[in-house]
Amino acid sequence: MNEIHVIEHPGRPTHWFVDDTYYFLTASTNYSRPFLDTDENKTIVRDLIWSLAEELGLTIEAWVILDNHYHLLFHLLKGWDLQTFVRRLHGGTAVKLNQLACTPGRKIWHNYWDRCIRSERDYWTRFNYIHYNPIKHGYVTKMSGYPFSSIHHYEQTAGIDWLADVWRAYPCKLVTYDDDLF
């Protein structure tokens, strides 16, 4: 049986720590400032995500890193590792980004929001949302045009036709399928 723990703090999102489940995670920068506006800064975040995922046994399913936030979809064996993952990711990236900018102590991250995935539809809709996010925010006009996303992995391993089928079956709200998305 999975362990479930809930932590509530006034003025902050409630966090559920559930063993052996999928999570959708979003984190934003402090005041939505574009602290991740360079490839170098996004690479720092991406590389630490992958390093911590390996160390903590997370299986990253989908990801995207934008100038002021990121989204992850992943499987986690031990629910308590969620807070360890986020704390180490945000602490480690804040130190590195501040070293690069010569701004020690600057607050980089505002908060994070997590959601346990509740169904197959929930999983695939969030998978598509992650890959659509660079279009939503005006970075690119095609999902494949954005380099800091897992979309390229799925293009190479499963193919555009598979991605299109997943999109048709589980579209994001208010966005219909269009061949030009890919």
The pLDDT of residue 1 is above 70:
no
Upper half-sphere CA count for residue 49 (Cβ side, 13 Å): 24
Do residues 28 and 68 make contact, with C-beta atoms less than 8 angstroms apart?
Answer: yes
pTM of the predicted protein model:
0.90
Alpha carbons 149 and 49: distance in angstroms, whole number: 12
Query: What contacts 24+ positions apart, CB below 8 Å, involve 150-158?
Result: 150/60, 150/61, 150/62, 150/63, 150/64, 155/182
Q: What is the tally of structural domains in the chain?
A: 2
Q: Which domain holds residue 177?
A: 120-182
CATH of the domain at 105: 3.30.70.1290
The pLDDT, as a whole number, for residue 17 is 80
Co-location of 82 and 166 in the same domain: no
Which pLDDT score is estimated for 51?
Answer: 98
Looking up tokens 């005041």 gives 31
- 88 with 175, same domain: the answer is no
Could you read off the pLDDT of 102-146 as tens digits, one per residue?
Answer: 999 999 999 899 999 999 999 999 999 999 999 999 999 999 999
Q: Which of 117, 140, 157 is the last residue of a domain?
A: 117
Q: Which of 170, 90, 86 is nearest to 131 (CA)?
A: 170
Closest CA to 7 of 72, 73, 87: 87
* Structure confidence at residue 173 as a pLDDT band (50, 70, 90): confident
Same domain membership, residue 124 and residue 45? no
**Beta-carbon-side half-sphere exposure of residue 23 (alpha carbons within 13 Å):** 30
Looking at the structure, do residues 68 and 133 belong to the same domain, yes or no?
A: no
